[in-house]
Structure 1
Amino acid sequence: MESGNNHNNNNNNNNNGFVNQSFVGSLNASTISIPGAYKSKAPTNGSKPNPGAGDAHNQPEAEAEAEAGEGQQGKQRQSWNNDIEFLMSCIALSVGLGNVWRFPFTALENGGGAFVIPYLIVLVLVGKPVYYLEMLLGQFSSRGSVKVYDFSPIMRGVGYGQVLATGIVTTYYATLMALTLRYFVDSFYPTLPWSYCRPEWGANCLDSAGAASGDAAQGTVRTTSAEFYFTNIILREKPSIDDGIGYPSWSLALALAVAWVIIASIMFKGVKSSGKASYFLALFPYVVMLILLVRALTLPGAFDGVLYFLRPQWHKLLEAQVWYAAVTQVFFSLAICFGNIIMYASYNRFGHNIYRDANIVTTLDTFTSLLSGVIIFGILGNLAYENNTTDIASVVNGGPGLAFISYPDAIAKFKVLPQVFSVLFFLMLFVLGIGSNVGMASCLTTVIKDQFGHIKNWMIVVAIAVIGYLLGLLYITPGGQFVLNLLDFYGATFVALVLAIFELVAIGWIYGVKRLCRDVQFMLGIKTSLYYRICWAIVTPLLMFTILVYMLVRYEPLKYKDYTYQSGVYVFGWCLSAFGVGQVLFWAIPAVRRQPSDLSLCGRIRRAFEPLPNWGPADPGTLKRYQLYVQEGQANAIFQRSSIWHKIYDNIFG
Structure 2
Amino acid sequence: MDIILTPPIKMMRLNWRNRDQKLMKLHRAEVLKEWDDISEGIGLPEWRLTLCLLFCWIVVFAVCAKGVHSSGKASYFLALFPYVVLAALLIRAVTLSGAGTGILYFVEPKWEMLKTAKVWYSAVVQCFFSLNIGFGSVSMYASYNEFRHNVYRDAMVVTTLDTFTSVLAGLIIFGILGNLADKMNVGVEEVVKYGGTGLAFISYPEAIAKFDRVPWLFSLLFFLMLFVLGVGSLVGLYASLVTVIMDSFPDLKIWHVSAMSALFGFLVGMVYVTPGGQWIFTMVDYFGGTFIFYVLTLVEIISISWWYGLDEICLDIEFMLKRKPGAYWRICWGIIVPCVLLTVFAYFVATLEPLRYLNKVYPSYVIVWGWAVLGFGVLQIAIWMIVEFIRRMKQQECGRCQEVCDFLSCLHNTSLGIKATYIMMMIS
Q: Distance in 1 between matches of 2:28 and 2:95?
A: 27
Q: CA deviation at 1:543?
A: 0.7
User: What amino acid is the match of 2:127?
Assistant: V
Q: 1:419 to 1:218 in 2, by over 3 A?
A: closer
Compute the TM-score of the two structures, normalised by the length of structure 2: 0.85
> Is residue 470 from structure 1 mapped to residue 267 from structure 2 by the alignment?
yes
Residues 298-313 of structure 1 correspond to what in structure 2 (within 5 A)?
A: 298-313=95-110
> SS at the partner of 2:11?
coil
User: Any residues of structure 2 matched to 1:270-419 within 5 Å, and which?
Assistant: 270-390=67-187, 392=189, 396-419=193-216
Instruction: Report percent identity of matched pairs.
Output: 49
Say whether the 8 Å CA contact 1:449–1:455 is kept in structure 2.
yes
1:449-473 CA-partner distances (Å, limit 9, x unpaired): 2222222212221111111111111
CA contact (8 A) 2:41 2:276 kept: yes
Q: CA deviation at 1:477?
A: 1.9
Distance change >3 Å, CA 294–CA 599, structure 1 → 2 = closer
Deviation (angstroms), 1:380: 3.0
Q: Is the 8 A contact 2:208 2:215 kept in 1?
A: yes
The SS at the match of 1:584 is helix
Matching residue of 2:406: none
* Counterpart mapping for 1:449-528 below 5 A: 449-528=246-325
CA contact (8 A) 1:351 1:523 kept: yes
Q: Please tell me whether the aligned partners of residues 35 and 276 of structure 2 are also in contact (alpha carbons under 8 angstroms).
A: yes
Q: How much does 1:294 deviate?
A: 2.7
Q: Which residue is 1:445 aligned to?
A: 242
CA distance in 2, matches of 1:305, 1:228: 25
**RMSD (CA atoms):** 2.3
TM-score normalised according to structure 1 size: 0.56
Question: Do the aligned partners of 1:226 and 1:409 also contact (CA within 8 Å) in 2?
Answer: no
Q: Distance in 1 between matches of 2:191 and 2:137?
A: 36
SS where residue 254 of structure 1 aligns?
Answer: helix
Per-residue deviation, residues 363-391 of structure 1 (Å, max 9, x unmatched) = 11111111111222223333433443336
Give the 5 Å matches for 1:6-405.
217=11, 219-220=13-14, 221-224=17-20, 227=24, 229-390=26-187, 392=189, 396-405=193-202
CA shift, 1:415, in A, is: 2.8
Q: Report what 2:400 is aligned to.
A: none
Cα deviation code 1:176-197 (max 9, x no counterpart): xxxxxxxxxxxxxxxxxxxxxx
Q: Does 1:591 align with 2:388?
A: yes
Gaps of 5+ in 1: 1-212, 601-654
Take 2:26 and 2:94, find their aligned partners in 1: how far apart are those partners?
A: 24
Size of the aligned set, in residue pairs, is 388
Tell me the secondary structure at the aligned position of residue 217 of structure 1: helix
Partner of 2:334: 537
- Residues 582-616 of structure 1: CA deviation (Å, up to 9, x unaligned): 1111112222323447999xxxxxxxxxxxxxxxx
The one-letter amino acid paired with 1:453 is P
Structure 2: where are the runs of 5+ without partners? 1-6, 398-428
| Whole-angstrom CA distance in 1 between matches of 2:395 and 2:150 | 44
Answer 1 or 2: higher relative contact order, Cα 8 Å, separation at least 6: 1
**Residue pair 1:244, 1:479 contacting (<8 A) in 2 also:** yes
- 4+ residue segments displaced more than 6 Å: 597-600
Look up the equivalent residue of 2:107 and give its one-letter code: L
Aligned-partner SS, 1:352: coil
Shift of 1:254: 1.0
Contact 1:226 1:408 in 2 (8 A): no
Bigger Rg, structure 1 or 2:
2
Displacement of 1:550: 0.9
Deviations 1:563-587 (A, max 9, x none): 2110000000001100000111111
Matched AA of 1:290: A
> Residue 504 of structure 1: CA displacement?
0.5
Q: What is the distance in 2 between the residues matched to 1:223 and 1:373?
A: 25
**Partner amino acid, structure 1, of 2:69:** K
1:428 aligns with one of 225, 231, 235: 225
Helix, strand or coil at the partner of 1:556: coil
Matched-pair contact (CA < 8 Å) for 2:304–2:310:
yes
User: How far, CA to CA, are the matches of 2:80 and 2:396 in structure 1?
Assistant: 56
C-alpha distance in 1, partners of 2:66/2:396?
A: 45
Question: Post-superposition shift, 1:347?
Answer: 0.7
What is the letter of the counterpart of residue 204 of structure 2?
Y
Residues 439 and 595 of structure 1, relative CA distance in 2, 3 Å threshold: closer
In structure 2, C-alpha distance between the alignment counterparts of 1:272 and 1:444, rounded to whole Å: 15
Alignment-mate amino acid for residue 461 of structure 1: S
What is residue 576 of structure 1 aligned with on the other side?
Answer: 373
Per the alignment, do residues 396 and 233 of structure 1 end up closer, same or farther by CA in structure 2, a change over 3 Å counting?
Answer: farther
Residue 551 of structure 1 corresponds to which residue in structure 2?
348
Measure how far apart 1:320 and its partner are.
Answer: 1.0
Change (3 A) 1:229 1:379: farther
User: Post-superposition shift, 1:487?
Assistant: 0.4
Instruction: Tell me if structure 1 keeps the 8 A contact 2:192–2:203.
Output: no
SS of the aligned residue for 2:383 comes to helix
AA at the equivalent of 2:370: G
